[in-house]
Amino acid sequence: MTLLPALPILLPLCGAVFCMLLRTHLAAQKGVALLFSVLVLGASIGLLAQTRDGSVAVMNVGNWAAPYGITLAADMFSCVMLVLSGLLAVSVFIYACFDLDTERIRFGFFPLSLILLMGVNGAFVTGDLFNLYVWFEVLLTASFILLALGGEQPQLEGSIKYVTLNLLSSALFLAGIGILYGMAGTLNMAELAHVVQQGDRGGLVTMVAVMFMMAFGIKAGMFPLYFWLPASYPTPPAAVTALFSGLLTKVGAYSMIRVFTLIFITDPDFLHVLILTGAGLTMVSGVLAAAAQYEMRKILAVHIVSQIGYVIMGLGLFTPLALTGTIIYLIHIIIVKTNLFLVAGAIRRIKGTYDLHELGGLYKERPGLSVLFIISAMSLAGVPPLSGFFAKFTLILAGLNRGAWVIVAVALGVSLLTLYSMVKIWTYVFWKPAPEPLPDRITASGGKWLAFLSPMIAFTLLAVGLGIFAGPVFDYAQTAADQLMNSDAYIQAVLGGG
């Protein structure tokens, strides 16, 4: 047994406690939050190094062996998500130190964000479904408060829609857990995989699987119950939106991938066709809604929906290559989407608006910021040789190999419309002259400005690097996908005590 799987949970909790103890010392809060986010990233990298050979790191809390106790289990897929969440937390905290107003920091942005990080990481490493539900509630509570932090009317309206739909999702999830426990007598995911595969309860298992699909689909932002996302994500400050875009929907997607590759694999002809249909509708509805928007943050928020469709597409295809593409796409979208929200927040900080009609001429005024935007925007659209191209190429190749011509055509068409949306932002914000020149609200020079841009620079370099070094990334993602397709090692590691 190793203690490493617990560190990404315990470290954010400790950081949140210290931040609350220092609630009147805002500068100290910033330092503590940054320190603990770096520690979380370091622990996640250590866990990734430990599992790079394909092993599974297992911890039985209190030394109660699975399936009777609380089990934490981290395979390669979990560790990739942990590293990404740690990297995102470090970057957003640096950004927030320069961008977030004093009032929101005083009201608890940093401890709440660390609690959110704890919930996210708990969902990534938990080994049983009830604790997955608990971690969902932890991150839901923290995210709801973060969304409403500041008390502005749009934030309150968005937060009510957010919490209402997510409570519905939690209710579906809890009902599915109850039925599953009554059927199998356990909620340990490794034990459930064994029981469900050995049993003869096809119809009941399929019904529970659909309930889980709906619950996780709502949290991930899938069609048709995704409308809470564009109603709520554009309302808080850029740091909060970036944190949400990089983490919250991805936890829903991760959970769906985990249960539909480990537990619900007995009726693929029905379930994966249903997932693939949902993926296609999610892509199309999200990208069409984005094409109609003329407010930068709303365009980016609705594009979260369409991009989740690509992630779920790989699960629906359910081949090793498709799951490889899904993992690569998750890495790509977390980095690129977060960066686009950070750049949008920087533009709002400089010019005071997200409205495309009021902006213009930033290519000449802020050439550095323009480069940061265009690289991430083209990566989102899938332009080579950036990260998005290789992620989409892998998924499309997997679709062609399966003969899934419809979803491939949808994915290609949505990529073109994504390019249209990104070019629209570029044309309005950076290329065309401003209709009425807006004065700069901050000075774009000096070390402070460079520190403010540093998270965006890092994410932009990652978007380029993931494209240039696509081979090693593909090899690692392929190994992780093979683990998901062949769950025997995970089951043996958990039930065998590690």
How does the average pLDDT of the chain come out, rounded?
88
Helix (H, G, I), strand (E, B) or coil at 336: helix
| Sign of the CA dihedral running 480, 470, 467, 410 | negative
Task: With a cut of 60, say whether residue 497 has pLDDT above it.
Answer: no
Q: What is the pTM of this model?
A: 0.93
Tell me which amino acid residue 252 is.
Answer: G
Is a pLDDT exceeding 80 seen at residue 299?
Answer: yes
Percent of the chain surpassing pLDDT 70: 95
- Residue 292 makes CB contacts below 8 A (sequence gap 6+) with none
d(CA 170, CA 341): 27
Answer yes or no: is pLDDT of 498 > 50.
no
Tokens representing 144 are: 């709801």
Contacts of 37 (CB under 8 A, 6+ apart): 12, 15, 86, 89, 90, 93, 114, 117
The SS3 assignment for 434 reads coil
CA distance to 15, 22, 86, 399, 423, per residue, from 29 (Å):
9, 6, 18, 48, 39
Give pLDDT, residue 353: 83
**Alpha carbon distance 250, 120 (integer Å):** 9
- Residue 128, helix vs strand vs coil: strand
**Calpha distance 400→392 (Å, rounded):** 12
State mean pLDDT over 165-174. Answer: 87
Asked if residues 230 and 289 have their Cβ atoms less than 8 Å apart, the reply is yes
Rounded-to-integer distance, Cα 129 and Cα 114, Å: 23
* pLDDT at residue 169 tops 90: no
Q: Return the exposure string of 346-384: e unless at least 16 CB atoms fall within 10 Å of the residue's CB, then b.
A: bbbbbbeebebeebbbbbebbeebbebbbbbbbbbbbbe
> Which residue ranges make up each domain of the chain?
4-495
Q: Which of 421, 329, 430 is nearest to 373 (CA)?
A: 430
* pLDDT of residue 158 exceeding 80: no
- What are 418-463's pLDDT values in tens digits? 999 999 999 998 888 877 766 666 655 556 778 888 999 999 999 9
Which has more pLDDT, 229 or 177? 177
Do 221 and 290 touch, CB atoms closer than 8 A?
no
Q: State the pLDDT at residue 25.
A: 86
| Number of residues in the chain | 498
For the segment 36-89, what is each residue's pLDDT rounded down to a tens digit?
A: 999 999 999 999 998 888 888 888 887 777 677 788 999 999 999 999 999 999
pLDDT (average), residues 16-27: 89
